[in-house]
């Protein structure tokens, strides 16, 4: 079945593999959090790694993105989107960290009763 439209050939096997990988990439971080087997910081980094892997699984198996589709414009749009996401996440983490550091330490609210 040769398709000359430039669209990738999709099989049921691709969807099953993508689904299985998605379930595994969701279940493992869930288990790590629920069991508390690692320190919180390490668990957070591992979860971010699994999230990035899941993004690639979804792009490959469900969105059928590759460097050849739409003459490369899909990849350009993806790179632009990833840059925006990284800037947004890094900025948000930076702001939250600075807010946490600059809160008034030792200040407690008086009990109102």
pLDDT single digits (tens) 75-108: 788 888 889 988 988 898 899 888 888 886 666 6
Phi, psi of 10 (to 5 degrees): -110, 135
For residues 65 and 51, which has the higher predicted lDDT (pLDDT)? 51
pLDDT at position 79: 85
- pLDDT of 85: 85
């Amino acid at each position: 079945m040769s398709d000359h439209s430039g669209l990738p050939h999709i099989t049921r096997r691709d969807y099953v593999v993508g689904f299985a990988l998605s379930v595994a990439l969701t279940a493992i971080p869930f288990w790590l959090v629920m069991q508390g087997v690692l320190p919180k910081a390490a668990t957070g980094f591992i979860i971010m790694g699994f999230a990035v892997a899941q993004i690639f699984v979804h792009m490959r198996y469900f969105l059928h993105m590759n460097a050849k589709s739409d003459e490369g414009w899909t990849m350009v749009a993806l790179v632009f989107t990833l840059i925006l996401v990284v800037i947004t996440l890094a900025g948000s983490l930076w702001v939250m960290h600075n807010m946490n550091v600059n809160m008034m330490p030792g200040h407690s609210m008086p009990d109102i009763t």
